Amino acid sequence: MITANPILAINRLCKDFPGVKALDNVDFFLRKGEIHALMGENGAGKSVLVKVLTGVYKRDKGKIYFEGKPFYVHSPKEAQECGISTVYQEINLVPNLSVAENIYLNRQPQIRGFIDWKATNKKAEKVLERLDLKLDVKQPLGSFSIAIQQMVAIGRALDLDAKVLILDEPTSSLNVKEVQQLFTIMRKLKSLGHSIIFITHFIDQVYEISDRITVLRNGMLVGEFLTDSIDRVELIAKLMGKKLAEFSSEQAEIEQGDENKQGIPFLEVQGLGKKGLIEPFDLRMYKREVLGLAGLLGSGRTEIANLIFGIDRADKGQILLNGKSVNISNPHDSLKFGFGLCPEDRKSEGIIEDLSIRENIILSLQVKKGCFKYIKRKIQEKLVSKYIDMLKIKTPDMEQAIKNLSGGNQQKVIVARWLASNPGLLIMDEPTRGIDVGAKAEIQKLILELSQKGMAILFISSELEEVIRCSQKVVVVRDKAKIAELTGTQINEHTIMNKIAVV
Amino acid sequence: MKLLFKRINRKKIPLYANFIIFVLIYALGAIFYRKFLSLRVFVNLLTDNSFLGITAVGMTLVIISGGIDLSVGSMMVFTTMLIALFTEMLHLPPIVVLPAVVLIGVLFGSLMGGLIHFFNAPPFIVTLSGMFLARGLGFVISLDSIPIKHKFYYNASQFGIQLTEKIRMPIIAIIFIAVVIIGIILSHYTKFGRNTYAIGGNEQSAVLMGLPVGRIKIMIYAFSGMCSALAGIVYVLYTLSGYGLAYMGLELDSVASVVIGGTLLTGGVGYVEGTLVGVLIQGLIYNFITFQGNLNVWWAKIVIGLLLLFFILMQRTFSTRTAAN
């Protein structure tokens, strides 16, 4: 792509993590004084790109040019000194110190070796004035809202002479008014000639503020677009990745049988909701059925899963199991009722890294039996080897620590864990995220097999293709609310994307 | 009034509570016992708690940074043994001995700080082993108490500032106050001090903000080591001897003073001036028992224990409340 002198040019950047290509020949161009949105679903490589750029990770291949010169830094600190500052969603400032100190920490003006507090506070006020922000800079940062803290972080970056400002999901925890405040500041910075990389998954915001959009998907560049020249449906199509041709042959295997969809549903959700988390929604799930949840990142997919499983407590509605109302207020309850959940964040919520495969699989069974009832080692081993064979988990032996496995195999271990407790309902939140294509296909096949054996499965994925292929029913969520339920021939890309895109 | 209340920094509430309790105990003492309020009692309060106070200043910075230093008591005792060894057995002059022991304290602290930083080892364990090591090394020098007979130490211990005709502020109390002042200046008016607060507030952020976290951590423990060595010198002036079994459990009294003084054990918030008051509160409680005459000294421990519990609970409520905001 030929561009008028980009301030930042990234050429064919590659970064591998064990088992995954996190970045695969990604190009990215940032021009002076533009707001450039960087978009992509989970695992697209947005944050890896930022982390490689700012020196948190080492790049494997590729070139980065900053202001025309090759750019290579080893730490965020070094990047900051060169003029590239990042403001994270999790504010990386210290809440216990004052606003002024946070801006000038370790750079405070001094008189004879001692900090000049007056000058520090004055200078801080001046910096914030540039952002049209008036604060009592002597107050501790933690006493202000997240929005203000973010602006203070931007103020610090400005004072460090940031030419490129990376805002990593800055609006996720802001309300509407605060978002507007932030946008005012972003426009102001733009007019002052700063360049901004704006990472977000809010489509509306991208259209409101950005000049250009770069879309990544599965570590690859989908494309760079002028915001004015791409419409919503097209953008969503790019985000969701329309094609996954490799395994379309398996599509035929799904039976769209309706014979068991009458009568009392296995699980019925009536008006379940929680304020601020997700609007009340209804769901009906039958045995031998896969219900797909489609929607963009942050639309409320995971929230639905968490409410049903009892990780978050609903403040409205009820859950019926085989027609009877049940009270689920924590995951332990849902275990008792035979629910299982493969969480979205496999690393921190799913596996226990240092335990062996055997121990990871036995966990849920042990919980079900009560923690003081020892399960005989022989029985454990028999069970585990059964699942290793059944799910084709690739490992030298069952005593291997689970962290040594690839992502796909870890996922299978988690599935095995639930199978061991023989659940009636299995919720799978992004089970195929961050694993390679072959393993994805195996997981999909597994989902279909399990449902045919009588399990009800709630399947969440940001791969539209995958949801369409596996599910008999698809629920579409957007902006923290269920907006549609599709069955039969309605389940196709076009319909789903239109549902998501309609304003 | 409301405005005034609003202006009060919530995080300082434990500090204010600590001042109020100090005044209350003092007032109570003054009501019950005639001499409680006298200048002499106050000077003795400073003197008798000086070594505890000096270690507590170092401890304050360590705890503000989110760590803990359990080695302070042993290091103090080890210093007394070193002074005895150097002076009585090797016959070295004080001008060599005193800088040497301070330097050893600094090195010992830096070593622990280095272990904590470079090996990412928990401060609790590192300083616990430091505690055993220093106690043990003290016993290697001698199992018994060694009297220190060098003239200099006797003369120094008699030195003081005449406050009134009869009452003198001894050198020990002066060193204590000096260390407190240095601690206040360090923590409020230097980059080192502010960076310490930043590390205690959120270490990961401090790294991302580009602070020299490793160097600061090592300096914090070095400072604490230096304070322990100074406390050892003061202890020698106080008792004119070195003794390996002296003041068992000083490190815990020191932690107690810091916490009663309003420093959050989780790090990030704390005040050296609060620690001073925390030390004096403990001293006052002992004074109370002494003045009363009939009570067992252990009652002091019980009261201090309850007080500590009160402060911890107060900290919990305030830190959870600020988190909820």
Model pLDDT, residue A398:
85
- Taking CB atoms and an 8 Å cutoff, what residues of chain B touch A150? none
Q: Evaluate whether residue B2 is within a structural domain.
A: no
Q: Which of B8, B202, B264 is nearest to A153 (CA)?
A: B202
- Residues contacting B219, CB < 8 A, separation 6+: B110, B113, B192
H-assigned helices in A241-339: 301-309, 331-336
Helix or strand or coil: residue A323? coil
Backbone angles phi, psi at A29, to 5 degrees: -125, 135
Range of the domain at B248: 13-324
CB-CB neighbors (< 8 A) of B209 in chain A:
77, 92-94, 105-106, 156
Burial of A107 (0-12, 13-18, 19+ CB in 10 A): middle
Distance from CA of A92 to the nearest CA of B (A): 5
Query: Which chain B residue's Cα is nearest to A160?
Result: B209
Name the minimum distance, in Å, from the CA of B229 to any CA of chain A: 26
Chain B nearest C-alpha distance from A354 (Å) = 19
In-domain check, residue B79: yes
What was the pLDDT predicted at A502? 73
Question: Is B170 in contact with B159 (CB distance < 8 Å)?
Answer: yes
Total-model pTM: 0.76
Question: What is the reported pLDDT for B66?
Answer: 95
Q: Given an 8 Å threshold on Cβ–Cβ distance, is A94 in contact with B269?
A: no
Whether A106 sits inside 8 A of B201 (CB atoms) is no
Task: Give chain B positions within 8 Å (CB) of A81.
Answer: 210
Tell me which residue of A313, A253, A302, A235 sits closest to A469, measured CA to CA.
Answer: A253
Among the partner residues B188, B205, B268, nearest to A92 by beta-carbon distance? B205
Chain A positions in Cβ-Cβ contact with residue B212 (cut-off 8 Å): 106
A323: which 2 tokens? 């027609």
Distance between first and last Cα of chain B: 22
Token readout for B151 is: 């003239």
Nearest to A96 among B191, B269, B325 (CB): B269
Beta-carbon contacts below 8 Å between A and B: 72
Closest-CA distance of chain A to residue B157, Å? 33
Q: Are B218 and B117 in contact (CB under 8 A)?
A: yes
CB hemisphere CA count around B33 (13 angstroms): 16
- Contact between chains at B268 and A77 (C-beta distance less than 8 A): no
Residue B6 lies in a domain: no
Q: B-side interface with A, Cβ within 8 Å?
A: 9-11, 185, 188-191, 194-195, 197-198, 200-202, 204-206, 208-212, 268-269, 322, 325
Please check whether residue B301 is in contact with residue B295, taking contact to mean a CB–CB distance below 8 angstroms: no
- Look up residue B133 and give its two tokens: 């090591």
Supply the DSSP symbol for B88: I
**Is B209 part of a structural domain of the chain?**
yes
Per-residue pLDDT of chain A (503 residues; tens, 9 = 90+): 445 678 999 999 999 877 678 899 999 999 999 999 999 876 788 888 998 998 888 899 999 999 989 999 988 888 888 999 988 877 788 988 999 999 999 889 999 889 999 999 999 999 998 888 888 999 889 888 888 898 899 999 888 888 999 998 888 777 778 888 889 989 999 998 999 999 987 788 899 999 999 999 888 899 999 999 988 888 888 887 764 433 333 444 444 444 445 678 888 989 888 887 888 999 888 888 899 998 887 788 888 998 999 888 888 888 888 888 888 888 888 888 888 888 877 777 778 888 888 988 888 788 777 777 788 888 888 888 888 888 888 778 888 888 877 777 888 888 888 888 888 899 998 888 767 667 777 888 888 888 888 889 999 988 788 888 889 899 999 888 888 888 888 888 888 888 888 75
Which residues have a Cβ under 8 Å from the Cβ of B146 and sit 6 or more positions away?
B81, B84, B85, B88, B241, B242, B243
Q: Do A93 and B209 touch (CB under 8 A)?
A: yes
Contact B202 A114 (CB under 8 A): no
Q: Are A490 and A268 in contact (CB under 8 A)?
A: no
Average pLDDT rounded to a whole number, residues B261-272: 90
CB contact under 8 A, B10 and A81: no
Identify the CATH number of the domain in which residue B196 sits.
Answer: 1.10.3470
Closest-CA residue to A144 (of A183, A103, A116, A109): A103
Residues A210 and A241 sit within 8 Å (Cβ to Cβ): no
- For B48-97, what is each residue's pLDDT tens digit? 999 999 999 999 999 999 999 999 999 999 999 999 999 999 999 999 99
Closest Cα to residue B144, out of B72, B230, B228, B85?
A: B85
Q: How much is the pLDDT for B253?
A: 93
Q: What is the ipTM of this complex?
A: 0.84
Q: Which residue among A80, A97, A140 sits closest to B198, beta carbon to beta carbon?
A: A97
| Residue among B194, B201, B209 whose CB faces A95 most closely | B201
**Separation CA A168–CA A38 (nearest Å):** 9
Specify the number of domains making up chain B: 1
Using DSSP's 3-state secondary structure scheme, residue A333 falls into helix
A95 to chain B: which residues are within 8 Å by CB? 201-202, 268
| Confidence class for position B312, pLDDT limits 50, 70, 90 | confident
Rounded Cα distance between B38 and B285, Å, is 16
Which residues of chain A lie closer than 8 angstroms to B322, CB-CB?
Answer: 142-143
When CB atoms are compared, the residue of A77, A142, A156 closest to B322 is A142
B323 close to B37: Cβ distance less than 8 angstroms: no
Q: Which chain B residue has the Cα nearest residue A109?
A: B191
Identify which of B189, B198, B322 has the shortest CB distance to residue A94.
Answer: B198
Q: Does residue B245 sit within a domain?
A: yes
Look at residue B304 and tell me if it is in a domain: yes
- The answer to the question of residue B85 being in a domain is yes
Of the candidates A81, A93, A115, which has its C-beta nearest B189's C-beta? A115
User: Cα–chain-centroid distance for residue B278?
Assistant: 10
Answer yes or no: is B3 within a domain: no
Residue B235 pLDDT: 95
Written as one string, the DSSP assignment of B224-248 is: HHHHHHHHHHHHHHHHSEE-TTTTT
Sign of CA dihedral B8, B9, B14, B19: negative
**Residue-level pLDDT at B319:** 61
Would you tell me the crossing angle of helices B191-201 and B171-189 to the nearest 10 degrees? 70
- Encode A74-99: b = buried (16+ Cβ within 10 Å), e = exposed: eebbebbebbbbbbbbebbbbbbbbb
Closest-CA distance, A111 to chain B, in angstroms, reads: 10
Contact state of A97 with B197 under an 8 Å Cβ cutoff: yes
- Chain A residues with beta carbon closer than 8 angstroms to that of B194: 97, 101, 105-106, 108, 115
Determine if residue B134 is left, alpha or beta; phi over 0 gives left, psi from -120 to 50 gives alpha, anything else beta: alpha
Phi then psi for A202, rounded to 5 degrees? Answer: -90, 110
What is the phi/psi pair of residue B208, to 5°?
Answer: -65, -25
Subunit contact A93:B325, Cβ cutoff 8 A: no
Q: Are residues B322 and A92, on separate chains, in Cβ contact within 8 Å? A: no
Which residue of chain A has the CA closest to B210? A77
For chain A, list residues whose CB is within 8 angstroms of any CB belonging to chain B. Answer: 76-77, 80-81, 91-97, 101, 105-106, 108, 110, 113-115, 117, 139-140, 142-143, 156
Task: Name residues whose C-beta falls within 8 Å of residue B182's C-beta, 6 or more positions apart in sequence.
Answer: B57
Minimum distance, in Å, between the CA of residue A6 and any CA atom of chain B: 27
Q: What is the pLDDT of residue A224?
A: 92
What is the arrangement of strands in the sheet containing A289-294, beginning at the earlier edge strand? Answer: A339-342, A425-429, A456-460, A289-294, A473-478, A481-487
CA distances, B245 to each of B211, B217, B312 (Å): 40, 30, 30
> What pLDDT does B60 receive?
97
- How many other C-beta atoms can be found within 10 angstroms of the C-beta atom of residue B164? 9
At a CB cut-off of 8 Å and minimum separation 6, what does A389 contact? none
List the single residue in B11, B189, B205 with the smallest CB-CB distance to A114.
B189
Question: B321 or B137: whose pLDDT is higher?
Answer: B137
Looking at the partner chain, which of B190, B195, B212 has a beta carbon nearest the beta carbon of A114? B190
At A130 the pLDDT is 84
Whether A77 sits inside 8 A of B208 (CB atoms) is yes
* 8 Å CB contact of B209 and A92: yes
How far off is chain A from B198, nearest CA to CA, in Å?
Answer: 6
Nearest CA in chain B to A141: B201
Residue in the block written with tokens 């301070």: B102
